């Protein structure tokens, strides 16, 4: 008898998490490693948020909370959605979980059955298709490319919808491409979705605050209120407030779905850490001025990377409007050989050779459903980015 469940066998390990242990192992062996693979801001959590956590401990706020989060935090989440996104929701329609990933996991596990389909634009965040497969449902990939700015068209969306479609996963700003859907682009997608009342939208807005050059953020339930009754809008504090380790994600959705997600979470992790919740309350309600400085720094780093990358023969990089990644094409470099004799058949071969031979950690594009690309995080100092680009340029120049 096989001990491991068939559900878990359908799920592959996270490709982004896979790179980090390899980089750490090489570092532990004494190699100098520049890691540009992690989706984690290099800034520290703002002091006022940390102080709120200290105060929560001092005040004895260390007990179990309601599964869906303390009422004060859910009120703050509702206020955030009203203030920033124009969504008039109540705390009963809001939910807190252990990171944005658990929001997505809860929603899909609570709703998917065998035979259901979930539309996932490519490139995609690595966990989307794996959670869908875990639920014994089928991911349906809708392709984009550099020409479309890594965004899907209404025509492509409609062509992918079938009677089995249950969800559309929509991530803007995007991990890995940094693409941001405009209000008009979302309205055009919404026009298609209005024809299919059984298709829900999971709007992953985790990078909402990291948008550059005056680009305006929009989310589906905001631009198409008629779809709000079948939209889950997810967000969190990991990227915007440098709180990756605090593990706080939150969402708003119709109460019918929220109740089922709470039921599932009640039998799995229960509520998230009480101390992190009180810190999150301060994060949402406190001064947000630091974000302007962070965005300026991220934009400078982005411009530095894009400028360097587009000077490398064989590399083609768009200027992304959001998140903290660039997603250049390296297609014309595949099939070549490194100076150490490694044949680069795939983009994974490329990133592994770059890590093993030169000590720079990136993530291969095929992990995100788009072969021939690489993802580079600019959540690192400008000095590290400069050094990494010099190394990458020489690595590519040495290919034969």
Per-residue confidence in pLDDT tens, the chain, 400 aa: 789 999 899 988 877 667 777 788 888 888 899 999 988 999 999 999 999 999 999 999 999 999 999 999 999 999 999 999 999 999 999 999 999 999 999 999 999 999 999 999 999 999 999 999 999 999 999 999 999 999 999 999 999 999 999 999 999 999 999 999 999 999 999 999 999 999 999 999 999 999 999 899 999 999 999 999 999 999 999 999 999 999 999 999 999 999 999 999 999 999 999 999 999 999 999 999 999 999 999 999 999 999 999 999 999 999 999 999 999 999 999 999 999 999 999 999 999 999 999 999 999 999 999 999 999 999 999 999 999 999 999 999 999 9
What are the strands, taking DSSP E only, across the chain?
A: 34-35, 94-97, 117-121, 138-142, 165-171, 200-204, 231-236, 249-252, 325-326, 360-361, 363-364, 374-377
CB 372 within 8 Å of CB 330 = yes
Q: 99: closest CA among 219, 217, 197, 243?
A: 243
Q: What is the pLDDT of residue 28?
A: 87
Q: What is the pLDDT of residue 384?
A: 96
Q: What is the pLDDT of residue 61?
A: 98
Q: What is the pLDDT of residue 27?
A: 84
Vertex 355, ends 354 and 357: CA angle to 5°? 65
Q: What is the pLDDT of residue 15?
A: 72
Q: What is the pLDDT of residue 288?
A: 96
9-43 CB burial, b ≥16 within 10 A, e <16: eebeeebbebbbebbeebeeeeeebbbbbbbbbee
For the chain, the residue count is 400
51-61 CB burial, b ≥16 within 10 A, e <16: ebbeebeeeee
List CB contacts of 158: < 8 A, sequence separation 6 or more.
192, 195
Torsion of CA 214, 215, 219, 222, to 10 degrees: 60
Long-range contacts of 286-291 (CB under 8 A, 24+ apart): 286/46, 286/48, 286/49, 286/52, 287/48, 290/46, 291/209, 291/240
Q: What is the pLDDT of residue 356?
A: 94
**Rounded Cα gap, residues 56 and 90, in angstroms:** 25
Domains assigned to the chain: 6-44+290-392 (3.90.1150.10), 64-285 (3.40.640.10)
Q: What is the pLDDT of residue 23?
A: 82
Q: What is the pLDDT of residue 244?
A: 97
What is the number of alpha carbons within 13 Å of residue 32 lying toward its C-beta? 5
């Amino acid at each position: 008898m096989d001990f491991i469940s068939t559900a878990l066998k359908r799920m592959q390990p996270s490709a982004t998490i896979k790179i980090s242990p390899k980089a750490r192992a090489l570092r532990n062996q004494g190699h100098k490693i520049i890691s540009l693979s992690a989706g984690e801001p290099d800034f520290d959590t703002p002091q006022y948020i940390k102080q709120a956590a200290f105060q929560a401990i001092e005040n004895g706020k260390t007990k179990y909370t309601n599964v869906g989060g303390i009422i004060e935090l859910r009120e703050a989440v509702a206020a955030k959605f009203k203030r920033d996104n124009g969504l008039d929701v109540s705390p009963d329609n809001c939910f807190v979980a252990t990171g944005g990933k658990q929001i997505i996991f809860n929603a899909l596990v609570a709703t998917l059955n065998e035979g259901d389909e979930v539309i996932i634009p490519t490139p995609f965040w690595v966990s989307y298709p794996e959670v869908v497969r875990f639920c014994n449902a089928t991911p349906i990939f809708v392709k984009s490319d550099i020409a479309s700015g890594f965004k899907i068209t209404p025509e492509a969306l409609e062509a992918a919808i079938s009677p089995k479609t249950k969800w559309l996963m929509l991530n803007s700003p995007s991990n890995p491409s940094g693409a941001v859907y405009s209000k008009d682009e979302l309205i055009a997608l919404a026009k298609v979705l209005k024809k299919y009342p059984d298709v829900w939208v999971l709007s992953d807005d985790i990078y909402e605050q990291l948008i550059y050059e005056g680009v305006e953020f929009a989310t589906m339930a905001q631009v198409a209120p008629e779809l709000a009754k079948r939209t889950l809008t997810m967000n969190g504090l990991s990227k915007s407030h440098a709180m990756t380790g605090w593990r706080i994600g939150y969402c708003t959705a119709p109460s019918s779905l929220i109740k089922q997600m709470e039921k599932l979470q009640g039998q799995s992790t229960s509520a998230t850490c009480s101390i992190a919740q009180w810190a999150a309350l301060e994060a949402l309600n406190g001064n947000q001025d630091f974000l302007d400085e962070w965005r300026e720094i991220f934009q400078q780093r982005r411009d530095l990377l894009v400028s360097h990358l587009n000077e490398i023969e064989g590399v083609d990089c768009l200027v992304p409007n959001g998140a903290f990644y660039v997603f250049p094409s390296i297609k014309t470099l595949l099939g070549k050989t490194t100076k150490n004799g490694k044949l680069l058949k795939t983009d994974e071969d490329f990133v592994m050779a770059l890590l093993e031979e030169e000590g720079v950690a990136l993530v291969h594009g095929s992990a995100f459903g788009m072969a021939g690309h690489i993802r580079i995080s600019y959540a690192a100092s400008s000095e590290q980015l400069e050094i990494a680009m010099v190394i990458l340029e020489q690595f590519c120049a040495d290919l034969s």
